[in-house]
């Protein structure tokens, strides 16, 4: 199976490439902006004609798009997440390769959901920020393209390589600095939200499964279980061996009573102290997100395997190497 992977140098793309390269039946060509790509090509500025000529030369059976941007202004996000996908769809329509398209979407396309609920693929998307809007527009382009295509809506990916700018990446870095400085207290914010954290290696398995399947439309990729970021912080502290106290500040400094929340790590683990109030999570999805993953199970034969504690331990291993 000839596979063209777009965005092989990104957080998800690296693990998708690694997983596909382990399959002897896959002939992988990586296209991206970095030096590690087999072919240098910028989807946000490249023309459909140039990409079409490349598709006709390689003649892949599957095109996987992991490219995109998670940060930046609305114009930049639109260019990297929406215009780039329009280029891919137009190139595939012009090409004679007939390749199947696997597009990586994200849970930010759904926007906020009701606490306690599981979001299924038929939920009406209401993205809460420009990132979710740009990814939703890309999904609509794919679904309306007439191509053999599937969109994997990935919930909150975690694990080795987690970007330092993500909430869990920032948390690990803050804990590393506290341990390095010998601080017995660590002040954090925004830990009250709950997210469906799925390991990046499980995401790579889902991409592989989608490449081989006949599934079309949208498929959620998550664990089906929301975890409070506060609890994830306590687990991270335990695997890191941090014995200090985590002070959670969820509102303007000085407001709200300070109260102690038992850590998920158990009696020997650190405590989490909380200053009341709400704090926005950067994905625009409010306080709660949890995936309904039945479609992935039924149509891809996929379910998550790696638990959050293992993902957090791997995040910490990378952070600890910087001590």
Give the separation between CA 323 and CA 190, rounded to whole angstroms.
25
pLDDT at res. 283:
87
Locate all alpha helices (DSSP H) within the chain, ordered by sequence: 11-21, 48-58, 74-78, 84-94, 130-143, 167-181, 200-212, 229-240, 294-295, 308-320
Instruction: Give the Cβ contact number of residue 249 at 10 Å.
Output: 21
Per-residue pLDDT of the chain (323 residues; tens, 9 = 90+): 999 999 999 999 999 999 999 999 999 999 988 888 898 899 989 999 999 999 999 999 999 999 999 999 999 999 999 999 999 999 999 998 999 999 999 999 999 999 999 999 999 999 999 999 999 999 999 999 999 999 999 999 999 999 888 889 989 999 999 999 999 999 888 889 999 999 999 999 999 999 999 999 999 999 999 999 999 999 999 999 999 998 888 644 443 333 333 333 333 344 444 333 334 567 899 999 999 999 999 999 999 999 999 999 999 998 888 65
Q: Taking the model in full, what pTM does it have?
A: 0.90
**Which of these, 290, 242, 288, lies nearest to 265 by C-alpha position?**
242
pLDDT at res. 323:
54
pLDDT at res. 250:
62
Is residue 227 within 8 Å of 281, Cβ to Cβ? Answer: no
* 132 phi and psi angles, rounded to 5 deg: -60, -40
Is residue 101 within 8 Å of 149, Cβ to Cβ? Answer: yes
Q: How do the residues of the chain divide into helix, strand and coil, expressed in percent and rounded to 5? A: 35, 20, 45
Instruction: Provide the angle, in degrees to the nearest 10, between the axes of the packed helices 84-94 and 130-143.
Output: 10
pLDDT at res. 165:
81
3-state SS assignment for residue 250: coil
Cβ density class 51-64: b for 16+ within 10 Å, e for less: bbebbeebebebbb
């Amino acid at each position: 199976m000839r596979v063209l992977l777009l965005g092989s140098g990104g957080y998800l793309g690296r693990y998708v490439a690694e997983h596909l390269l382990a399959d002897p039946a896959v002939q992988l060509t990586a296209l991206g902006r970095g030096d590690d790509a087999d072919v240098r090509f910028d989807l946000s500025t490249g023309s459909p004609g140039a990409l079409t000529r490349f598709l006709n030369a390689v003649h892949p059976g599957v095109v996987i798009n992991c490219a995109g941007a998670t940060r930046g202004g609305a114009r930049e996000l639109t260019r990297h997440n929406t215009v780039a996908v329009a280029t891919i769809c137009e190139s595939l329509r012009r090409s004679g390769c007939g390749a199947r398209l696997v597009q990586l979407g994200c849970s930010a396309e759904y926007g906020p959901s009701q606490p306690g609920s599981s979001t299924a693929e038929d939920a009406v998307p209401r993205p809460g920020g420009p990132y979710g809007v740009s990814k939703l527009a890309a999904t609509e382009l794919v679904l309306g393209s007439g191509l053999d295509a599937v969109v994997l809506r990935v919930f909150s990916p975690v694990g080795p390589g987690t970007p330092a700018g993500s909430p869990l990446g920032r948390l690990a870095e803050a804990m590393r600095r506290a341990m390095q400085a010998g601080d017995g207290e660590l002040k954090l914010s925004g830990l009250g939200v709950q997210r469906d954290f799925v390991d990046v290696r499980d995401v790579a398995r889902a991409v592989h499964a989608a490449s081989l399947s006949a599934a079309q439309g949208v498929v959620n990729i998550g664990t089906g279980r929301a975890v409070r970021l506060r609890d994830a912080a306590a687990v991270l502290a335990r695997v890191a061996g941090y014995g200090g106290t985590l002070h959670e500040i969820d509102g303007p400094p000085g407001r709200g009573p300070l109260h102690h929340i038992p850590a998920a790590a158990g009696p020997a683990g650190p405590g989490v102290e909380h200053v009341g109030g709400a704090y926005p999570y950067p994905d625009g999805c409010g306080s709660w997100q949890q995936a309904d993953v039945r479609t992935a199970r039924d149509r891809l034969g996929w379910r998550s395997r790696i638990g959050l504690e293992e993902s957090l331990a791997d995040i910490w291993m990378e952070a600890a190497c910087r001590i």
